[in-house]
């Protein structure tokens, strides 16, 4: 089989070869929001605040799309390792069907709830109006996102990481070209403001999907989406959703966290809501290398486990932990060396920049230790252990940080919220390692 290299190559070169295209893909994906935010910031601080308020819902859509696609990736990888190609095709086909349905439902539900959702966090009619102008357009492309991510994870499952990288870059280049043209009305484009940013993002996602389809038709891969397997099957749905729901919740929990923190920070000033929104834009970029490595090793974990290569699974985990800790150390250094430059990408207000620098300095103290939680959670997903992975995310995003943020903000004001991030990463790292040890002993030795 074409995927034999996953259980034959040396671990470090294998992890790097699978991860580096995903690191670039993650960088490109995070730049969607970074580029939108950079150009929107040229409009006004109200426009940036509008994006910050939409971000949790936008992140939730991505969480559903990516999370279920992770389930597809894990199941397809396992069947390929077990040399069951028909089941791999069945998983890919039914996964595509379900994720398309998810996209259509998300479009309807998210557009319907946005007015009420925004009203919870802001009474500024200008901010709410801009947020609706952006969200009502960008959410129209939800089905495109969910469909594209199925192809992304299937290509990754068969080891075609460079295809994912190329398709993502095509969408990003489209977005970065269209953003200024559609926001500011350059050339024959009308001036659309924040709505232009939404259209540019959506069109970029359409281009990515079209390029995936082109590769799928012109350069066949071992896994096929076939009409004969479109009828949903209970057992296959259980496998896909068993991993996909947990992975989705893992990715959706940050949205719940941001909403909760927005509620705490809004009690001090909307300036801190903007700072939190800017931080999460930067965090996506800072964590992208670590997350890219995790994306790269998921199919390796699933394939080698399916093939019975348990020792290789252990080696892949330890190599990944070493690499993610290293890249997070770089993120920490950058957060201390050039914080003004990073925050200044999104606002020119000196007070907001200073508040953002303070937040980044404090939060970044937990970056390196967070590698433990990130690696344990991703490795468990690759092994099909969705519930333990979800437990790690619950500790990081709900159980520890929200009470800590509430308590610390009462004691230290808005700054206390930033200390809650750092505190949480240290506690969650210890719990994550214990969870991983417990469940991989069962998984790898049982």
Lowest mean per-residue pLDDT among 151-155, 270-274, 311-315, 367-371: 270-274
Instruction: State mean pLDDT over 66-88.
Output: 87
Phi-psi region of 122 (alpha: psi -120 to 50; beta: other; left: phi over 0): beta
pLDDT at 396: 92
Lowest mean per-residue pLDDT among 180-184, 262-266, 384-388, 394-398: 384-388
CA angle 227, 233, 235 (to 5 degrees): 140
Percent of the chain at pLDDT > 70 equals 95
For the cut 80, the answer to whether the pLDDT of residue 252 exceeds it is no
Instruction: State mean pLDDT over 393-406.
Output: 93
Instruction: State mean pLDDT over 68-89.
Output: 87
Range of the domain at 425: 2-445
For the cut 80, the answer to whether the pLDDT of residue 112 exceeds it is yes
pLDDT at 311: 84
Confidence grade of residue 37 (pLDDT, cut at 50, 70, 90) = confident
Instruction: State mean pLDDT over 104-129.
Output: 90
pLDDT of 348-383, one tens digit each?
788 888 888 999 999 999 999 999 999 999 899 888
State the CB neighbour count (10 A cutoff) for residue 41.
18
CA atoms 388, 390, 394, 397: torsion sign: positive
Say which residue, 296 or 255, is predicted with more confidence. Answer: 296
Which of 371, 431, 375 is CA-nearest to residue 401? Answer: 431
For the cut 50, the answer to whether the pLDDT of residue 332 exceeds it is yes
For the residues of 83-114, what is the DSSP string, one character each? T-HHHHHHHHHHHHHHHHHHHHHHHHHHHHHH
For the cut 50, the answer to whether the pLDDT of residue 79 exceeds it is yes
H helix count then E strand count, the chain: 17, 0
Please, are residues 197 and 205 in contact by the beta-carbon 8 Å criterion? no
Instruction: For residues 163 and 291, give the distance between their C-alpha atoms in angstroms, rounded to a whole number.
Output: 18
pLDDT at 29: 67
For the cut 80, the answer to whether the pLDDT of residue 34 exceeds it is no
Please, are residues 161 and 18 in contact by the beta-carbon 8 Å criterion? yes
When computed from its CA atoms, the radius of gyration of the chain, rounded to whole angstroms, is 21
pLDDT at 136: 93
Q: What would the two tokens of residue 416 be?
A: 């206390």
Burial 163-182 (b: 16+ CB within 10 A, else e): bbbbbbbbbbebbbebbbbb
Which of 21, 23, 25, 20 is CA-nearest to residue 169? Answer: 25
- Show the DSSP H helices in 219-233 as ranges: none
Total structural domains within the chain: 1
Place of tokens 């099909």: 384
Confidence grade of residue 273 (pLDDT, cut at 50, 70, 90) = confident
* Biggest CA pair distance of the chain: 64
Instruction: For residues 405 and 360, give the distance between their C-alpha atoms in angstroms, rounded to a whole number.
Output: 16
Confidence grade of residue 104 (pLDDT, cut at 50, 70, 90) = very high
For the cut 80, the answer to whether the pLDDT of residue 229 exceeds it is yes
Which of 295, 303, 354 is CA-nearest to residue 161? Answer: 295
Instruction: State mean pLDDT over 30-35.
Output: 66
Place of tokens 């096929």: 224
pLDDT of 202-216, one tens digit each?
999 999 999 999 999
Confidence grade of residue 443 (pLDDT, cut at 50, 70, 90) = very low
**Mean pLDDT, rounded, of the chain:** 87
Which of 278, 325, 246, 312 is CA-nearest to residue 444? Answer: 312
For the cut 70, the answer to whether the pLDDT of residue 445 exceeds it is no
For the cut 70, the answer to whether the pLDDT of residue 137 exceeds it is yes
Which of 227, 225, 202, 222 is CA-nearest to residue 213? Answer: 225
pLDDT at 23: 80
Instruction: State mean pLDDT over 65-86.
Output: 86
Q: Give whichever of 57-61, 88-92, 256-260, 385-389 has the largest mean pLDDT.
A: 88-92
Please, are residues 43 and 194 in contact by the beta-carbon 8 Å criterion? yes
Instruction: State mean pLDDT over 262-285.
Output: 82
Q: Angle formed by the axes of helices 310-337 and 415-445, to 10°? A: 170
Q: Give whichever of 239-243, 259-263, 313-317, 417-421 has the largest mean pLDDT.
A: 417-421
Provide CB contacts within 8 A for 341, sequence distance 6+: none
For the cut 70, the answer to whether the pLDDT of residue 1 exceeds it is no
């Amino acid at each position: 089989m074409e995927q034999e290299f996953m259980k034959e190559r040396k671990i470090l070169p294998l992890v790097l070869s699978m991860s580096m295209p995903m690191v670039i893909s993650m960088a490109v994906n995070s730049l969607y929001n970074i580029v939108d935010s950079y150009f929107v910031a040229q409009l006004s601080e109200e426009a940036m605040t509008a994006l910050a308020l939409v971000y949790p819902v936008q992140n939730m859509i991505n969480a559903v799309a990516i999370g279920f696609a992770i389930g597809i990736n894990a199941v397809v990888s396992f069947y390929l390792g077990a040399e069951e190609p028909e089941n791999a095709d069945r998983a890919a086909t039914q996964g595509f069907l379900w994720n398309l349905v998810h996209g259509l439902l998300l479009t309807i539900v998210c557009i319907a709830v946005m007015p009420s959702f925004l009203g919870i966090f802001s009474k500024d009619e200008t901010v709410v109006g801009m947020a609706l102008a952006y969200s009502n357009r960008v959410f129209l492309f939800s089905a495109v996102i969910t469909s594209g991510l199925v192809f992304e994870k299937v290509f990754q499952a068969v080891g075609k990481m460079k295809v994912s990288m190329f398709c993502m870059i095509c969408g990003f280049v489209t977005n970065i070209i269209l953003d200024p043209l559609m926001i500011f009305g350059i050339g024959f484009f009308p001036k659309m403001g924040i709505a232009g940013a939404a259209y540019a993002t959506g069109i970029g996602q359409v281009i990515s999907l079209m390029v995936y389809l082109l590769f799928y038709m012109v350069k066949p891969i071992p896994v096929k989406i076939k009409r004969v397997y479109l009828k949903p099957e209970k057992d296959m749905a259980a496998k896909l959703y068993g991993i996909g729901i947990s992975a989705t919740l893992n990715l959706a929990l940050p949205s719940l966290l941001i909403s909760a923190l927005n509620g705490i920070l809004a009690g001090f000033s909307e300036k801190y809501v903007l700072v939190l929104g800017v931080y999460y834009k930067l965090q996506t970029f800072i964590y992208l290398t670590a997350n890219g490595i995790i994306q790269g090793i998921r199919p390796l974990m699933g394939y080698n486990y399916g093939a019975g290569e348990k020792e290789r699974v252990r080696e892949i985990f330890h190599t990944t932990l070493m690499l993610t800790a290293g890249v997070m150390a770089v993120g920490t250094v950058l957060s201390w060396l050039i914080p003004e430059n990073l925050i200044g990408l999104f606002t020119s207000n000196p007070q907001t920049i200073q508040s953002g620098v303070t937040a980044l300095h404090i939060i970044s103290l937990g970056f390196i230790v967070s590698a433990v939680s990130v690696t344990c959670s991703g490795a468990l997903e690759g092994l099909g252990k969705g519930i333990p992975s979800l437990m790690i995310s619950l500790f990081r995003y709900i159980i520890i940080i929200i009470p800590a943020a509430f308590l610390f903000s009462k004691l230290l004001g808005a700054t206390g919220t930033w200390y809650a991030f750092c505190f949480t990463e240290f506690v969650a790292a210890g719990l994550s390692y214990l969870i991983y040890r417990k469940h991989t002993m069962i998984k790898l030795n049982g």
